[in-house]
Amino acid sequence: MMRKVVFLFWLFALSGWCVDFFWDIEKAKTTEVVQVFPAYQSTINWTQGKIRCEVRLPFSPNSSPNIGKTRAQIESEVRNELRDRLVKTMGYVQISDLFLLRDYYSLQSQIRSELLEGVNNAFYYPLIHEKNFVKGIAELDFFGPKGIAQIFFREIARVSLSSYIQKQRDLAWYDGVIVDVFLYSQFLPSLYFRIYDEDGNLIYGPEIVEESVLLNQGVCEYVASLGSAFQSRRLGTKVFYVVPLSLRGRNPTELVISRKDARKLLANAKTHEALRAGRVVVVKPNP
């Protein structure tokens, strides 16, 4: 953590203390899947797996004889506003085809308490004092030791895909999957991304992925372009590329692929190892 803070101070110094130096949303959207919430000056970045909020409040240090008290007060206001915006923005995180995060937040007190603790443990960047303003940034991770996704990945029932394995020799196997949803602008990223075949059989989802992978990386990686998908570190060199037949779910967070593609993908047991390791990338162009 200390190294990160030192690096940030160095970065701000080089950038003239510009809060937007390392974050150009329009540039990011060429490769990353980003939801923008102008009312909160916040984003949900599905590629990075984090929520980011910004606050900019007026500050005139010479307006009060007690400059120290005034500075402490404005810094407290900035942090409280950042916290409030994180809470409001994370409510829009799509958990599954049925629920947004705010549904859990409003109905389950235990989950609400854990989510608020996660917000308190978010990373709050050092405040930036610029002319007559104070700027603040906060980031809340989905994944990792302090990620909020762990709240939603508990007690997931495991599903085996062994019935698809064929015993012929020299069957093709894959160490990565690219799912291209460029035809479906309505598709919504979610924490519980799932793929089914035409018969309604689960082909991929959190039930397939190893728990440690879910907690640290999520069920898949979302990117905004096919070029970014092929450059993903999540994939190997033998990539299975598929375009879904249709969307599925009350909210379109799930996909359906053909029986033929499902059988081809799952025929070799080696591919199952890649799926358990979460080696799936979803191409979702931004609107």
**Which of 223, 244, 221, 224 has the alpha carbon at shortest distance from 234?**
221
On whether the CB atoms of residues 199 and 151 are closer than 8 A, the answer is no
| pLDDT at site 155 | 85
Whether pLDDT at 6 is above 50: no
On whether the CB atoms of residues 177 and 274 are closer than 8 A, the answer is yes
Token readout for 9 is 């101070």
Domain boundaries along the sequence of the chain: 2-6+15-152, 162-283
- pLDDT tens digits for 155-184? 899 999 999 999 888 899 999 999 999 999
**How many Å apart are CA 76 and CA 70, to the nearest integer?**
10
**How many Å apart are CA 179 and CA 44, to the nearest integer?**
21
Q: The whole model's pTM is what?
A: 0.88
What mean pLDDT do residues 149-153 have?
96
**How many Å apart are CA 118 and CA 87, to the nearest integer?**
10
Residue with tokens 């495991």: 158
Confidence tier at 23 by pLDDT (50, 70, 90): low
Strand partners, 247: 255
What mean pLDDT do residues 206-211 have?
97
For residue 266, which phi and psi values (nearest 5 degrees)? Answer: -100, 5
- pLDDT tens digits for 251-279? 999 999 999 999 999 999 999 999 999 99
| pLDDT at site 75 | 86
| pLDDT at site 85 | 97
Confidence tier at 62 by pLDDT (50, 70, 90): low
What mean pLDDT do residues 84-112 have?
97
Q: Is 195 helix (H, G, I), strand (E, B) or coil?
A: strand
On whether the CB atoms of residues 81 and 41 are closer than 8 A, the answer is no
Residue with tokens 């998908």: 229
Q: CB within 8 A of 279, min separation 6: which ones?
A: 175, 176, 177, 234, 235, 236
What is the DSSP secondary-structure string of 226-249?
Answer: HHHHHT-TT--SSEEEE--SEEET
Q: What count of residues does the chain have?
A: 287
Token readout for 281 is 């990338």
| pLDDT at site 9 | 42
- Could you list the beta-strand ranges (E) of 125-166: 128-130, 133-141
- pLDDT tens digits for 101-146? 999 999 999 999 999 999 999 999 999 887 788 899 999 999 999 9
Whether pLDDT at 47 is above 80: yes
Whether pLDDT at 10 is above 70: no
Whether pLDDT at 7 is above 80: no
